[in-house]
Structure 1
Amino acid sequence: MTAFTDADPGAIFTFTGTEDIFDTHYGIPVTTIGLECEGLLALGHLTDRHVLAVTNAHHRRLWGHRILPSRELDNLIHFGTKHVWILTIRGDGESYEWEYKEIDADAGHAQPATLIDVEWLAHEDAAVQSECPACGKPSRSTHSEAGPGRTGWGTYHRCRACDHQWPAAPTYPLRLERGRTWPATQNGSCFACHCLPDFPCTDGCTIGTDPVIRQPLCTRCRSQHSPEIWQQLAAVAYGTARQADTRDEQRDRWLYSEALRGIPPAHAAKTWQHRLALTARRAASRAETTTA
């Protein structure tokens, strides 16, 4: 493997495909380019089939993404792929390690390469399988979504059969104790979604102490459940999770979402524990299969 150093900056060199910046997919060396990794550079002039295969493999293996059908994917070959000849130059090892520029095919040190623009491709995270609580169909991907029950973004599955969305169970090792030492509600924030008076979750939302659970609730959260459901949610420790604990935030999203479907919070809490354990087992099994 070739490591780039600050030796001889500005020197012209030719990629061999064995440099440690490359990942090999189907025998083709590929590396990311651009400040936001918005492009791929593959050595050689790839066929259309290889462009699609390499793009899919790089997203799946390196980034854990599953590419979704989209207009951008349809146009990838015609508008997002470019066969070029490049000249590569060593960098100073600090601001950059190497750079390339496009040149004519008959110029000295010209090397064939394929540039693939992947910036606008739609994708989802490849995830551990989870069954849809609404229809039972499996989902193997997740995406970031601002769902009910918590402000901010959470990780959700989406059912391709019925379009229901549900919070994904984290794949961290299952913890037996909850270990809560301080409440997440601070400085007058909503007990449920944690929005603040200066940063409301919806326009015109206000926060006041709910007489049923004796906790501050914003207008939006209070209106989404009956007083009886709020009592049941509070009884299963909804809303008291520490903000730093992603697992507990996902649990709260699950409890809230299931309550919107009419599932009793006590039953939803037991189901969540089952999903945590099942997801942990599936993640461990997948890891063993991957490393075998």
Structure 2
Amino acid sequence: MTAFTNAEPGAIFSFTGIEDIFDTHYGIPVTPTGLECEGLLALGHLTDRHVLAVTNAHNRRVWGHRILPSRELDDLIPFSTKHTWILTTRGDGDPYDWEYEEAVADAEHAQPATLINVEWLANEDVAVQSECPACGKPSRSTRGAVGPGRTGWANYHRCRTCAHQWPAAPAYPLRLERERTWPATQDGSCFTCHCLPDFPCTDGCTIRTDPVIGQPLCARCRAQHPPEIWQQLAAVAYGTARQADTRDGQRDRWLYSEALRGTPPAQAAQAWSRRVIQTAQRAAARTTATAA
């Protein structure tokens, strides 16, 4: 137990840097702050170089994010970093509940700290490498986005060369247990986009169950493919995936997106199967390398 967890509720204490709430990056104790972890608190007054280093390391190691170049990153040092002195107090909740307030340097129990506001930094997930289906260039990151082929948010790769976006193949172990199934769409929404009867994607767009795939489609999405492509999509099981199963949902998005590019659905289905196997192999290899 540390002085932090041993302190009585309301008592002022000093962090030692070995508390469980801290992650150590380059020898610097760092912990997130704020209700949505929009800030970082590092013990000590960091140099500009160390601010950038611990911010990058924390995003990569703890959140699995890669920080992207942006105006907010340019402004991180001059506008979003503050060297201050803090007084820390045990909260009234569980042993790990605490608060801090800024103080003057000569206040009793005050200790130096660096506050970093990371709320607006642009980032993307560090992901398993996947080759762009349009130009073949590799991508090693994903971002949450809404795309064609399936309602809802999902992880997409974005090619830095040609800007094409494609659904990411899953990178987690095969599950053998049976899972509860859920309907593919809710509230009568279109299966391939986010529109609802009361919020159509285009003026006058209507939604009805398509007899080919057996799912509700809006008029705009139905018109994106000719009837023969819808038949071919149905033949490779497009539209039969469970909403709760991200792997199947990503397959639907892939099939639909590739059909928009002119790839025959049967060919797209084979390519997806290869990508799933390749992604699993790469994820396993990366895990083994990290463990070593």
> Does the TM-score normalized on the shorter chain lie above 0.5?
yes
Equivalent residue, structure 2, for 1:9: 9
CA contact (8 A) 2:182 2:243 kept: no
| 1:3 to 1:142, Cα distance in 2 relative to 1, 3 A | farther
CA contact (8 A) 1:180 1:241 kept: no
In the alignment, the residues of structure 2 paired with residue 214 and residue 105 of structure 1 have an alpha-carbon distance, to the nearest angstrom, of: 68
Equivalent residue, structure 2, for 1:148: 148
Q: CA deviation at 1:5?
A: 4.1
Moved over 6 A (4+): 178-183
Q: RMSD of aligned C-alpha atoms?
A: 2.6
In the alignment, the residues of structure 2 paired with residue 44 and residue 207 of structure 1 have an alpha-carbon distance, to the nearest angstrom, of: 59
Equivalent residue, structure 2, for 1:90: 90
| 1:247 to 1:61, Cα distance in 2 relative to 1, 3 A | same
In the alignment, the residues of structure 1 paired with residue 40 and residue 31 of structure 2 have an alpha-carbon distance, to the nearest angstrom, of: 6
TM-score (norm 2): 0.91
Q: CA deviation at 1:257?
A: 0.4
Of residues 239-248 and 49-58 in structure 1, the stretch that sits farther from structure 2 once superposed is: 239-248
% identity of equivalent residues: 81
Alpha-carbon displacement from aligned partner over 1:167-202 (angstroms, at most 9, x marks no partner): 0001123479x9998863677554545855345455
In the alignment, the residues of structure 1 paired with residue 218 and residue 287 of structure 2 have an alpha-carbon distance, to the nearest angstrom, of: 42
In the alignment, the residues of structure 2 paired with residue 93 and residue 179 of structure 1 have an alpha-carbon distance, to the nearest angstrom, of: 36
Equivalent residue, structure 2, for 1:43: 43
Equivalent residue, structure 1, for 2:24: 24
Q: CA deviation at 1:14?
A: 1.0
In the alignment, the residues of structure 2 paired with residue 21 and residue 48 of structure 1 have an alpha-carbon distance, to the nearest angstrom, of: 23
Q: CA deviation at 1:58?
A: 0.2
CA contact (8 A) 1:191 1:240 kept: no
In the alignment, the residues of structure 1 paired with residue 271 and residue 164 of structure 2 have an alpha-carbon distance, to the nearest angstrom, of: 17
Long gaps (5+) in structure 1? none
Q: CA deviation at 1:217?
A: 2.7
| 1:199 to 1:180, Cα distance in 2 relative to 1, 3 A | farther
CA contact (8 A) 1:157 1:168 kept: yes
Equivalent residue, structure 1, for 2:254: 254
In the alignment, the residues of structure 1 paired with residue 288 and residue 201 of structure 2 have an alpha-carbon distance, to the nearest angstrom, of: 42
TM-score (norm 1): 0.91
Equivalent residue, structure 2, for 1:73: 73
Alpha-carbon displacement from aligned partner over 1:208-255 (angstroms, at most 9, x marks no partner): 354666764320111111111111101101011111111111000000
State yes or no: 1:122 paired with 2:122: yes
In the alignment, the residues of structure 1 paired with residue 40 and residue 181 of structure 2 have an alpha-carbon distance, to the nearest angstrom, of: 46
Q: CA deviation at 1:272?
A: 0.4
In the alignment, the residues of structure 2 paired with residue 72 and residue 112 of structure 1 have an alpha-carbon distance, to the nearest angstrom, of: 25
Equivalent residue, structure 1, for 2:231: 231
Structure 2 residue identity aligned to 1:97: D
CA contact (8 A) 1:197 1:207 kept: yes
| 1:175 to 1:235, Cα distance in 2 relative to 1, 3 A | farther
Equivalent residue, structure 1, for 2:109: 109
Q: How many residues align?
A: 292
